[in-house]
Chain A
């Protein structure tokens, strides 16, 4: 067991009836790291995070969070972990300040009032502190929830899609804050569907059907996918896309504004497949595969794809 691992779990498994929502996941995240948690809808991200903070009992598996046993010491873990739920789960009928105050009290904070005031100020909601949380817009609810789960200065943050519905500027501020806190030694596990956010993580974990498929830095994940991507520009790209789709060697054809991205895992086969289209009026050039291309490719992995660590 690694001492500077904030999360170090092995074989985590959760079944709901006949469905295995999380299937033997091993995950290590070092202290001070930001780990992005990716996977399609229903792949088990929320379930896995809930097991880490003691909201669900794993059917099997063991390990530690912040050096505390995830199965037996969940009460102690909860005190040092901030968990932001995917769905807004603060009280609609309490004001912003009352919600934060409730949380601060729940964690028995010494300088509660100061912490609440500071949190509201950082949110930029000083003028609206008495507004009911239920009346906030979706993005503001999300920002309130984020502020609330950090109010007790946790050492590990488990954030389940924290920026869903949050505007770009607030997201940028959020990520700057995250990096600043990570530099101070806080650890983050962030479930997200945004690829630009995934790129800002130190590590990525990709799960599919409850199985951890890839774990590594963004560059490693892209590199390991072995994906080659070509970009093509020209007239009637929609027609071209229809012709390319389904040819052997071509796995993805994705429209990006004025270009089309064509990718495949086998560079040779891909080149062969596009060879007959490499003439005017089309302009082709190699481009770097993005995380999204890798993500889509991973999603196509047939069930039971070999897990890798």
Chain B
């Protein structure tokens, strides 16, 4: 009799029914399964803007003549640059650029209006933070056009002689930090943060759920342990893993992509621990919430996705709409990316990275506190 080995529709149906029941009972998995495609569609549909506008700029204005004023107006009206501050010296301009307060510094030299009227083609200096070439490219490209067309209106009457083919001003663009606009310089250091986020959250995300799933939690809880001991005990070993990853990425960045390393590596390594701990703590917190390992992995992914898309890794941060930037600001990866790029490409020091360090510290502290609070001391 080989009937026993034949495919049984009844057995098959029993399996299908069982799987459906299990899926329905696993609310979190279901929510995530629906949530991920939704979020992906929203992010890809609305959040990504490869033509970022209204990029913050600083103005160093040494001339207030009518032509200077209409020039500033023209740049502002182009929609690409948005003057958010005035600076009063070249050094101050470099500082706000380095600290990521602005993307551009526009310098209008003394006697601009006078030279303009004389037809001397005065220079306008535009310094750009070109760490992320995608963020600045379009803005810089459109600048000349909008300046020329705006100033063109003024070239009537006695100034008509200036309306010749050559531009009446000398636009000088200085892309800083990544002058050749090499995308790898931006992406490769960013990868460090992305890889750490992915793996660190995942590793600890499994920590508690694995104990529960394998039944070892009962034993652990019957021993005189405190939640903080258990949680920290699961965090610390992986800090080492994080550093191994950082080391690997740095070596590869240097040898393979020849990413410049302008700043202090020891500063980078020192601040990295906070980012690593933040992610490990996030994973632990997921672990205390998730019912099983699968859910923990899904939660880790749920956290990873916005980190990847909204941190400024994949798309220029300033190209995203406000709400997406607001979410991005909450994520440790966003700040860590700025720190890594700042140190490696801009040569930033501690004072420069501090602004992006404290949000990570805050995040780590909150995640640890939540993990400890959520950690169940009993089997109830």
- Taking a contact as CB atoms under 8 Å apart, the answer to whether A91 and B216 are in contact is yes
Instruction: Answer yes or no: B214 CB below 8 A from chain A CBs.
Output: yes
- Taking a contact as CB atoms under 8 Å apart, the answer to whether A56 and B379 are in contact is yes
Partner of B223, one of A57, A91, A103: A103
- Taking a contact as CB atoms under 8 Å apart, the answer to whether B224 and A87 are in contact is no
**Binary B-proximity of A110-144 (CB < 8 A = 1, otherwise 0):** 00000000000000000000000000000000000
A55-B379, A56-B378 known; A78-B215 Cβ under 8 A: no
**Binary A-proximity of B204-222 (CB < 8 A = 1, otherwise 0):** 0000000000111111011
Instruction: Answer yes or no: B225 CB below 8 A from chain A CBs.
Output: yes
* Chain A residues positioned under 8 Å from B215 (CB to CB): 85, 87-89
* Chain A residues positioned under 8 Å from B351 (CB to CB): none
- Taking a contact as CB atoms under 8 Å apart, the answer to whether B224 and A85 are in contact is no
B-contacting residues, A44-90, CB 8 Å: 50, 53-57, 75, 78-79, 81, 83, 85, 87-90
Q: Kindly provide the distance from the CB of A95 to the nearest chain B CB, expressed in whole angstroms.
A: 15
- Taking a contact as CB atoms under 8 Å apart, the answer to whether A75 and B378 are in contact is no
Instruction: Answer yes or no: A295 CB below 8 A from chain B CBs.
Output: no
- Taking a contact as CB atoms under 8 Å apart, the answer to whether B219 and A85 are in contact is yes
- Taking a contact as CB atoms under 8 Å apart, the answer to whether B224 and A106 are in contact is yes
Which B residue sits closest to A50, measured CB to CB? B379
Q: Chain A contact residues: over half helix, strand or loop, or mixed?
A: loop
* Chain B residues positioned under 8 Å from A88 (CB to CB): 215
- Taking a contact as CB atoms under 8 Å apart, the answer to whether A107 and B223 are in contact is yes
* Chain A residues positioned under 8 Å from B224 (CB to CB): 75, 78-79, 106-107
* Chain B residues positioned under 8 Å from A103 (CB to CB): 223
- Taking a contact as CB atoms under 8 Å apart, the answer to whether A54 and B378 are in contact is yes
Q: Kindly provide the distance from the CB of A78 to the nearest chain B CB, expressed in whole angstroms.
A: 4
Q: How far is the CA of A301 from the CA of B273 in the complex (A)?
A: 63
Q: How far is the CA of A81 from the CA of B221 in the complex (A)?
A: 12
- Taking a contact as CB atoms under 8 Å apart, the answer to whether B218 and A85 are in contact is yes
* Chain A residues positioned under 8 Å from B221 (CB to CB): 55
Q: Kindly provide the distance from the CB of B219 to the nearest chain A CB, expressed in whole angstroms.
A: 4
* Chain B residues positioned under 8 Å from A89 (CB to CB): 214-219
Instruction: Answer yes or no: B380 CB below 8 A from chain A CBs.
Output: yes
Instruction: Answer yes or no: A92 CB below 8 A from chain B CBs.
Output: yes
Q: How far is the CA of A88 from the CA of B219 in the complex (A)?
A: 9
Q: Which of B216, B219, B379 has the most CB of A within 10 A?
A: B219
Q: How far is the CA of A92 from the CA of B219 in the complex (A)?
A: 13
Partner of A92, one of B214, B223, B225: B214
Q: How far is the CA of A87 from the CA of B214 in the complex (A)?
A: 10
Which B residue sits closest to A78, measured CB to CB? B224
* Chain A residues positioned under 8 Å from B225 (CB to CB): 106
Q: How far is the CA of A81 from the CA of B219 in the complex (A)?
A: 12
* Chain A residues positioned under 8 Å from B217 (CB to CB): 89
Which A residue sits closest to B219, measured CB to CB? A89
Q: Which of B218, B221, B223 has the most CB of A within 10 A?
A: B223
* Chain B residues positioned under 8 Å from A90 (CB to CB): 216, 219
* Chain B residues positioned under 8 Å from A85 (CB to CB): 215, 218-219, 222
Q: Kindly provide the distance from the CB of B5 to the nearest chain A CB, expressed in whole angstroms.
A: 31
* Chain A residues positioned under 8 Å from B223 (CB to CB): 78, 103, 106-107
- Taking a contact as CB atoms under 8 Å apart, the answer to whether A78 and B379 are in contact is no
* Chain B residues positioned under 8 Å from A57 (CB to CB): 378, 380
- Taking a contact as CB atoms under 8 Å apart, the answer to whether A55 and B214 are in contact is no
A88-B215, A90-B216, A91-B216 known; A78-B222 Cβ under 8 A: yes
Q: Kindly provide the distance from the CB of A304 to the nearest chain B CB, expressed in whole angstroms.
A: 27
* Chain B residues positioned under 8 Å from A78 (CB to CB): 222-224
Q: How far is the CA of A54 from the CA of B218 in the complex (A)?
A: 11
Q: How far is the CA of A89 from the CA of B214 in the complex (A)?
A: 7
Q: How far is the CA of A222 from the CA of B215 in the complex (A)?
A: 37
A-contacting residues, B119-137, CB 8 Å: none
- Taking a contact as CB atoms under 8 Å apart, the answer to whether B222 and A53 are in contact is yes
Q: How far is the CA of A62 from the CA of B216 in the complex (A)?
A: 27
Which A residue sits closest to B214, measured CB to CB? A92
Q: Kindly provide the distance from the CB of A153 to the nearest chain B CB, expressed in whole angstroms.
A: 14
* Chain B residues positioned under 8 Å from A87 (CB to CB): 215, 218
A-contacting residues, B334-380, CB 8 Å: 378-380
25 interchain pairs, CB-CB under 8 A: A50-B218, A54-B378, A55-B378, A56-B379, A56-B380, A75-B224, A78-B223, A78-B224, A81-B222, A83-B219, A85-B218, A85-B222, A87-B218, A89-B214, A89-B216, A89-B217, A89-B218, A90-B216, A90-B219, A91-B214, A91-B216, A92-B214, A106-B223, A106-B225, A107-B224
Closest 5 CB pairs of A and B: A89-B219, A83-B222, A78-B224, A106-B223, A79-B224
* Additional pairs, 18, CB under 8 Å, beyond known A50-B379, A55-B378, A107-B223: A57-B378, A57-B380, A78-B222, A78-B223, A81-B222, A83-B219, A85-B215, A85-B218, A85-B219, A87-B215, A88-B215, A89-B215, A89-B216, A89-B217, A89-B218, A90-B219, A91-B214, A103-B223
